[in-house]
Amino acid sequence: MTIKRNSALILVICMVISGIFAFFVPVNIKDAVFASQQEKEKKITSAKSMIVIERDSQRVLYEYNSQEKLPMASTTKIITAIFAIERNENLDKKIVVPKEATKIEGTSIGLIEGEELTIRELLYGLMLRSGNDSAVALALATSGSMENYIKDVNEFLKEKGINNTYIKNPHGLPDDEHYTTASDLAKITAYALKNETFKEIVSTKNIKISNQKKSKISRNLVNKNRMLKELEYADGVKTGYTKKAGRCFVGSATKDNMQVICVLLNCVPMFEECEQLINRAFEEYKLTKILTAGDTLKTINIENSKTQNVQLNVEKDVYFPLKEGEVDKISINIKSEDSIIAPIAAGTPIAEVEISLENQLIFSNKIYTIKEIESNNLISNIIKITDKM
């Protein structure tokens, strides 16, 4: 399709699609994958399950066994964190630590019954120290009870399109009904990293939080994510380990405006492999502009209106991660009628944009009117006059 401009067109309709102008939100067609065959990718990971994606498009760059349901240990806390952030309006609100959030098995920040910490402090305890007690405190503060938390957080995941994950606790301690897939974990991490609070917390290397009742465990928190120190452009996310899940890691890094997320489930050299995969991604893929702000995608005639036609324009630049040589394999198709009949209410879908790479659909979404298009026939004009009278 040839993209042309036409300055004589009367009405500009911009694509009102969440996220399309800055970056893509992918259509759910095999998760928009263009990854190599799994047998090939097996050679680059020792993990039981692995996936590497670009954050905004969620294009799969590499994967191996990414759809298998597996335990994920403390990478569960990525879900706990973004859920708590979104469901608590005031993150600086202090909560009183209940007895149920103390003396939890495994790693903790030493919470003591009756002491007060803010939601934000508990989030740092959750994501830097991997405090299981922080996880329980946040779950109770957000949902009121553990039963409500399990119900609420699983509904939250479904709302976000995370369909192969089930949460039985907020910390990831072993439970046969507690699982995710590498693919799901990458998706929810990509979603979470668009939240500035989450992004700031997981990239923090160390911070000191309250120790009101002088817990014997230091509250000078040091992030367990070793990659933050070893890779200059690393910026997250979370480690995890149980005997059942093995060593698990979700790492992220940003370079040249492209953020890459790597999920490794049951992987002994998790930091080393994550760094290798992320560096490989930056070497092989570049965030490439596909559409430029102001580009005209199509013109549609309007019948029965003073407005003779509408122009479908791109409001902002559109990017997608591509390998060298792939840009020439991108095609853009606008599905619409050649003409439409007024009146047309604001917010009416009038077209659909499809973007493909090598004839495989990578993005699809509807285009909506942003203004009402009035009819200009005799009856509508009489109605307008009557309304004014």
Residue 150 and residue 241 in one domain:
yes
Number of domains in the chain: 2
DSSP secondary-structure letter at 68? S
Residue 270 and residue 316 in one domain:
no
| Residue 304 backbone dihedrals phi, psi, to 5 degrees | 70, 35
pLDDT of amino acid 298:
85
Q: Note whether residue 3 is domain-resident.
A: no
Residue 339 and residue 214 in one domain:
no
Last residue of a domain, one of 244, 266, 287: 287
Residue 272 and residue 131 in one domain:
yes
Q: Contact, 212 vs 186, CB < 8 A?
A: no
Residue 179 and residue 270 in one domain:
yes
pLDDT of amino acid 115:
97
Q: Which of 146, 110, 147, 115 is nearest to 125 (CA)?
A: 110
Residue 193 and residue 227 in one domain:
yes
Q: Note whether residue 254 is domain-resident.
A: yes
User: Which residues lie below 8 Å from residue 351, measured CB to CB, with a gap of 6+?
Assistant: 298, 300, 312, 334, 335, 336, 366, 367
The string of DSSP letters for 238-296 reads: EEEEETTTEEEEEEEEEETTEEEEEEEES-TTHHHHHHHHHHHHHHH-EEEEEE-TT-E
At 343, which CATH number?
Answer: 2.60.410.10
Q: What tokens does 315 get?
A: 């409001």
Residue 246 and residue 278 in one domain:
yes
pLDDT of amino acid 20:
40
- The tally of CA atoms less than 13 A away on the side-chain side of residue 327 is 11
Q: What is the pLDDT along the chain (389 residues), one digit of tens a residue?
A: 444 434 333 344 444 443 443 344 444 434 444 444 555 566 789 999 999 999 999 999 999 999 999 999 999 999 999 999 999 999 999 999 999 999 999 999 999 999 999 999 999 999 999 999 999 999 999 999 999 999 999 999 999 999 999 999 999 999 999 999 999 999 999 999 999 999 999 999 999 999 999 999 999 999 999 999 999 999 999 999 999 999 999 999 999 999 999 999 999 999 999 999 999 999 999 999 998 888 888 888 888 877 778 888 777 888 999 999 999 999 989 888 888 888 888 888 888 888 999 988 988 878 787 777 777 754 444 444 445 54
Residue 68 and residue 187 in one domain:
yes
At 114, which CATH number?
Answer: 3.40.710.10
pLDDT of amino acid 307:
76
The identity of residue 146, as a single letter, is: M
Residue 241 and residue 143 in one domain:
yes
Spatial separation of the C-alpha atoms in residues 208 and 210, rounded to whole Å: 7
Residue 16 and residue 73 in one domain:
no
Residue 297 and residue 282 in one domain:
no
Tell me the catalytic residues. 74, 77, 130
Q: Note whether residue 96 is domain-resident.
A: yes
pLDDT of amino acid 243:
97
Last residue of a domain, one of 287, 304, 321: 287
Radius of gyration of the chain (CA): 25
Last residue of a domain, one of 233, 259, 287: 287
Structural domain boundaries enclosing 299:
11-21+293-388
Helix (H, G, I), strand (E, B) or coil at 310: strand
Q: Contact, 172 vs 246, CB < 8 A?
A: no
Q: Note whether residue 247 is domain-resident.
A: yes
Spatial separation of the C-alpha atoms in residues 140 and 38, rounded to whole Å: 41
Q: What tokens does 119 get?
A: 């939601």
Q: Contact, 22 vs 56, CB < 8 A?
A: yes
Residue 89 and residue 195 in one domain:
yes
Instruction: Please calculate the CA angle 295-301-305 and round it to the nearest 5 degrees.
Output: 125
pLDDT of amino acid 41:
63
pLDDT of amino acid 40:
59
User: CA torsion sign, 209 to 134 to 106 to 190?
Assistant: negative
